[in-house]
Amino acid sequence: MTHAYRGRLAPTPTGHLHLGHAKTFWTAQQRAVQHGGVLVLRIEDLDRNRCKPEYADDLLEDLVWFGFCWQEGPDVGGPFQPYRQRDRQSFYHQTWQQLNHLGAIYPSPHSRKDVANALRAPHEGDREVIFPVKLRPATWEVATEPGEVNWRFRVPDGEAIAFIDEHLGPQRFIAGQDFGDFMVWRRDGLPSYDLAVVTDDHAMAISEVVRGEDLLLSAAKQILLYRTLGWEIPAFYHCPLVRDAAGKRLAKRDGARSLRSLRQQGITPEHIRESWELFL
């Protein structure tokens, strides 16, 4: 069965977009165009403390300035609305219910560092916190609602999760070694990054996920979620991270390389796209 290509841009408005985002997003847009497909813009603003509405507004403006063009999104609407994660809580809750019903997740009172980080996509340099198997409960009370407790996905220990990345080729991660039981829900009622992104990519019929290479390991966790939920797994295309001259990955705090500041300096998007490296 062939499907229409549907790709997405999934920025998190915690700061201004920089060249690294633009380059990855440009690849996403080119792939959608090459396949005669649709590009969706989804604002990943789950983390209310870190995501600011001003950044979301600026982001739309910066994307348009740079030459991005999406067919579905918070500003233009589309068949899979809403396109902002903070308006999609009922979808995440449904996914929690399905996972709970399948017995794939368990309540975990243990508060570890990954609880704090659960809302955001991991980035280079973030150490993977592997949840100790000994803290997995043998049994737990049947729940119908998540309640005020964290929930984790029980990974199949020792199983290899293999997939072909469209850019990086064959990948293989071992559950229980490369990653452990990961968070799917936080006691404050919010889903984790992995649960939210899988729910949305599925609901929005995304056929290929194009994003930065630092999310490669997340793909393995996300594949487990797709598999458990019986949902079709999209293709993955992870792009190399954009680094500055010192080899450091660009971060939002490097204001100098924000699209906004390049624009204020009178630099054109065409110029940037012709020679990205000049601006790093």
Please give the residue ranges that form the binding site for ligand GLU (CB under 6 A). Answer: 10-12, 44, 121, 197, 211, 215
Output the CA angle 191-220-229, nearest 5 degrees: 55
CB nearer to ligand GLU: give 44 or 58.
44
Task: Tell me the two tokens of residue 206.
Answer: 């995304």
In the complex, least distance from residue 27 CB atom to ligand GLU, rounded to whole angstroms: 12
CB nearer to ligand GLU: give 71 or 268.
71
In the complex, least distance from residue 94 CB atom to ligand GLU, rounded to whole angstroms: 19
CB nearer to ligand GLU: give 23 or 211.
211
In the complex, least distance from residue 44 CB atom to ligand GLU, rounded to whole angstroms: 4
DSSP-based three-state secondary structure for 24? helix
CB nearer to ligand GLU: give 88 or 211.
211
The size of the chain, in residues, is 280
Task: Tell me the two tokens of residue 92.
Answer: 């995440």
In the complex, least distance from residue 138 CB atom to ligand GLU, rounded to whole angstroms: 33
Cβ contacts of 129 within 8 Å, gap of 6 or more: 112, 113, 114, 117, 180
CB nearer to ligand GLU: give 10 or 105.
10
In the complex, least distance from residue 157 CB atom to ligand GLU, rounded to whole angstroms: 25
Alpha-carbon distance of 197 to 44, in angstroms, equals: 9
In the complex, least distance from residue 77 CB atom to ligand GLU, rounded to whole angstroms: 21
Cβ contacts of 153 within 8 Å, gap of 6 or more: 99, 104, 105, 181, 182, 183, 184, 194, 221, 224, 225, 228
Cβ-contact 228, 155 below 8 angstroms? no
CB nearer to ligand GLU: give 126 or 244.
126
Strands 150-153 and 160-165 come out as unpaired
CB nearer to ligand GLU: give 44 or 114.
44
Alpha-carbon distance of 48 to 52, in angstroms, equals: 7
CB nearer to ligand GLU: give 35 or 120.
120
Output the CA angle 76-78-79, nearest 5 degrees: 170
Alpha-carbon distance of 185 to 151, in angstroms, equals: 5
Task: Tell me the two tokens of residue 178.
Answer: 């490369």
In the complex, least distance from residue 210 CB atom to ligand GLU, rounded to whole angstroms: 8
In the complex, least distance from residue 15 CB atom to ligand GLU, rounded to whole angstroms: 10
Tokens 């293709």, residue located: 235
